[in-house]
Chains A and B, each alone.
Chain A
């Protein structure tokens, strides 16, 4: 009988219930090799350099460290405060009131968080160029940085606090009022203590993001201010002092790790995923409520839409005469900046048409998707059913999340040498950044496949390989698409690591934008706007794809 033959063949390999077609060792081999080579070993190199070169003892170095650290804390604290000042009332507005255009406004506030930093920097830059605002005195670089940070992170307050507000039982407020508490007392005695953990985790998350912010500070700071992250970059490329860069990187890592641990603790206290959610939103009733809703929603609408509109607007708006071959000054709408993207104006050896940067970006992003899926799928697979091994490895896998992009770039340079750096190191750095997101997108999907399905398929005659191909894989396809979109958009907008690793002839879109912004002239500025607009459009397309996928 045919069956007997198959049993003889396949039974040899049958060591028991076939749940894991591949052993854990094989699952972990590739991801751990990758992280060792491109994250942990470079990290050791950075550490080694810090102590080796006595970077610690040079008086000048310490002065720079002190100045930069102080400013990093200062701007992060200020940004966080301002973000709360806008975000708290906004969270309250969305949680408590229903009004026309609410879901649109809410979606609008969430967009900036996913935009590449260069786009946000370019967008804020473009506002100043608008005729309405150009009459005003140029604001200090710090003002622009703070505004950009608020623009970025307000959605965090709205989300985290909104979720916490939705979990507050409205009966608590009613009960405390019936017990004689006035409005202020209700807030002080009941609501604030209950919201404190959520508030704390939002504050910490925003602080971490502002603390490590790079593109916004580099591009909007105008070279006048520098944070740890920016100073690392400067000390690698502009004023080379690698030991100092390494020291700053270690300092940055220590700070972010401390804040991340605090954040993880706050998060654990604040999240009750099973808690019931209450919908307490209602239309505004009293005059005071109506004024609050009206004024504040208009404020939010203008703050969040202005940069997003002004960027594409500025990219087709011609405001000044160009020096050089163009004598004719046209003020008005133009597509010239976009046309220029296809032209290699300088004909220099290492200069390429700007549009080439878009092609580079897409190639790099595709490679990032490939790498991060190849590493992320086996890792997520192993993490979905953790053994003791996974409990140790899980935090290690997530560690790149706590280290900044510039630091990843620095580590790769120190380890593999800038001269040796082939273009492949850019997608490798992007993969390091995207991998934690890819794993976190895949892991719950894998864990959510009931063991029943595999058992059913197995009993119905599917071999372990066929079970994977016919059950696991098709179910995971959607999660894999989400993960791929994450990786693609992260790579597309990645700025810090790319700036350190990219070679002049192989810029990505963000690097090209930064280059255009740093050069004088209306044409350069216009091209920066045009490229930023293209990048924004690509990213928005990615976001839409993710959203559609979530609702499908």
Chain B
């Protein structure tokens, strides 16, 4: 369906997107994950046709979109700040796209009320935009984008402006809706929880490039880079030096020396990033002195030299604790292909 190929875009001489390529298949939800300023919103604008790429191609069902203005692309777009028309009521907002397609009034009416039911806003037709809460406004924006049956749905941090409770309920609705409607969707966010909840496939955008792509499980199990591991909050990322003793590869870090099982070859004293993942059946043992302690409901978060670990029993400050961990190599400098 959607195919993005070798997209480049720069702003004020600064490269923002560098050689971006990916595909979205039928009924697939792709999450574009990245920190703010990583260029993810710009990528959406390019696909929507609101901006032009410096180079590269965007195709839908095989047709190049370079000459298609945004109003003829037939894509739905939901913004973080809703973008509802303040001078129109809820009904008119949702009906806007259908009117643009010159649909008959009866059809518009039926579609709008069906959508209002779908987003749990039955009876809101005549309300003003300003009377609605943030969550309600975002539901209207969602219904408005869905109304003309777009070929692709795009979301630009749609839950970013909502508080925690609204966020969770809307996230669940969104999930159900995307599964049900089977519209291909591109979802931009900086929140890995949202990405895990929605995505069939996650693209991690960093510094204008996609540095990791895969299903949520794949990425969680093998983040491959320090940036990805940190972004997804998989564990503690530390740097260390390689020690080769006989057939064993070991890494020496400030938390101790660990055995490293890695499919790549390392040189002695090579500096590497490793992921220390806390897990009860881990092969490595770790000793550390508790420097700070945070209460986290059913467990305690112990902090030491910038790393965090979780313990069930409350330790004392300064106490030495032992934990089982897995240590994985984040072969950042190795060649990777997506």
Contacts and interface: CB of A to CB of B under 8 A. Distances in A.
Given A16-B52, A452-B83, A459 B70 contact: yes
Contact of A461 (B51, B81, B82, B100): B100
Nearest to B81: A452
A508 to B, nearest CB: 37
Contacts of A471: 85
A3 B79 CA distance: 25
Contact of B83 (A3, A17, A456): A456
B52 A17 contact: yes
A456 B77 contact: yes
A345 B70 CA distance: 68
Interface residues of A, number: 28
Contacts of B50: 17, 455, 458-459
Given A11-B69, A461-B148, A462-B100, 10 more contacts: A14-B67, A17-B52, A17-B70, A453-B83, A457-B85, A458-B70, A461-B74, A461-B97, A461-B100, A470-B96
A369 B45 CA distance: 39
Residue in A14, A459, A462 whose Cβ sees the most chain B Cβ within 10 Å: A459
Contacts of A6: 72
Closest 10 A/B residue pairs (Cβ): A461-B100, A452-B83, A460-B97, A11-B67, A456-B83, A14-B69, A459-B77, A458-B70, A16-B52, A474-B87
A450 interface: yes
B148 A460 contact: yes
B70 to A, nearest CB: 4
Contacts of B51: 17
A466 B69 CA distance: 13
A16 to B, nearest CB: 5
Interface string A435-468: 0000000000000001011011111111110100
Interface residues of B, number: 33
Given A459-B75, A459-B76, A462-B100, A18 B70 contact: yes
Contacts, number: 94
Contacts of A17: 45, 49-52, 70
A460 B75 CA distance: 7
A86 interface: no
Contacts of A460: 71, 76, 96-97, 100, 144-145, 148
A427 B85 CA distance: 37
Contacts of A459: 48-50, 70-71, 73, 75-77, 145
Nearest to B46: A17
B81 A11 contact: no
Contact of B68 (A7, A450, A455): A7
A10 interface: yes
Nearest to B92: A470
21 contacts: A11-B68, A450-B81, A452-B79, A453-B86, A455-B45, A455-B48, A455-B70, A456-B85, A456-B144, A457-B85, A458-B50, A459-B49, A459-B77, A460-B71, A460-B97, A460-B145, A460-B148, A463-B71, A464-B71, A466-B100, A471-B85
A471 B71 CA distance: 14
B289 to A, nearest CB: 47
A452 B73 CA distance: 17
A466 B101 CA distance: 12
A291 to B, nearest CB: 46
Contacts of B79: 452, 455-456
Nearest to B65: A7
Nearest to A473: B87
Contacts of B82: 452
B11 to A, nearest CB: 13
Contact of B71 (A450, A461, A475): A461
B52 A475 contact: no
Interface in B89-108: 96-97, 100-101
A6 B86 CA distance: 29
Interface of A: 3, 6-7, 10-12, 14, 16-18, 450, 452-453, 455-464, 466, 470-471, 474-475
Interface of B: 45, 48-52, 67-77, 79, 81-87, 96-97, 100-101, 141, 144-145, 148
B83 to A, nearest CB: 4
A450 B22 CA distance: 30
Contact of B69 (A10, A457, A474): A10
B84 to A, nearest CB: 8
A264 to B, nearest CB: 30
Nearest to B73: A459
A7 B77 contact: no
Contact of B74 (A3, A12, A14, A458): A3
Contacts of B52: 16-17
Given A17-B52, A455-B48, A466-B100, A461 B72 contact: yes
A463 B148 CA distance: 15
Contacts of B81: 450, 452
Nearest to B102: A461
A222 to B, nearest CB: 53
A457 B77 CA distance: 10
A14 B68 contact: yes
B72 A7 contact: yes
B101 A461 contact: yes
Contacts of B85: 453, 456-457, 471
B331 to A, nearest CB: 40
A475 B87 contact: yes
A10 B70 CA distance: 11
A452 B141 CA distance: 12
Contacts of B71: 458-464, 466
